[in-house]
Amino acid sequence: MHPRLPTRIAASLAALTLASCGSSQEAEEGGDPNPAPVPESDVTLPGNTTLGPQGEATQLPAAEWVYKEDQQMAVFGPPNSEGLLTVHCRDGEIVVTRHSPAEEGGTAMLNFSGDAHTASLAVRAEPMELGPEFVWQGTVSRQSDDLRQVFEDNLEAVTVSAGLGDPLRVPLSDAPVKAIDACRR
């Protein structure tokens, strides 16, 4: 552990606490009751911790990649869940789903950033199979190498972001590469 990490965490949490105290005081004085969230780059948090929409620290469940050969699908997420990110083949196209709340009719660019390669994918809000909620989903031609290179050629984790909500950092794995390759056959 970095020697200054506990100090940085304590300082960050203290700043978050003070910010939330100031928010209620501002609300009483007619100020903005919903201050802008703390930029993620300003705070270093341990392990599977991220910042929520109001700057609060949130512990994420452990997540991993799993390849489901019978479905030609790679799923990243906590064990026994629908996942946070899926890559699979449907009707000869590679389908990528970021399981993050989306507004009906919404569109965005889903960006995959690694240390060696990046890729972007146009996504739109699609209804979930069960329930009234929407998630971000887009398709890529099975001939495209951009997405495959992101998961195959980078040396470190890949950041997946849509400019909406929290970015997702996924570890490198051959699971999404297997799903893409299965779609090419």
> What pLDDT, in 10s, does the model give residues 123-180?
999 998 776 688 899 999 888 888 888 888 888 889 998 766 678 889 889 999 999 9
Residues 6+ away with beta carbon under 8 Å from 38: 15, 16, 19, 51, 55
CA–chain centroid gap for 183, Å, is 23
> What pLDDT, in 10s, does the model give residues 84-129?
999 999 998 999 999 888 889 999 999 998 888 889 999 999 998 7
pTM (whole model) above 0.85: no
Instruction: Tell me what pLDDT residue 56 has.
Output: 57
Answer whether 150's CB lies under 8 Å from 110's CB: no
Q: Which amino acid is at 119?
A: A
> What pLDDT, in 10s, does the model give residues 15-32?
333 334 443 344 444 444
> What pLDDT, in 10s, does the model give residues 34-58?
444 433 333 333 444 454 555 555 5
User: Shortest CA distance to 98 belongs to which of 31, 178, 168?
Assistant: 168
Instruction: Tell me what pLDDT residue 25 has.
Output: 42
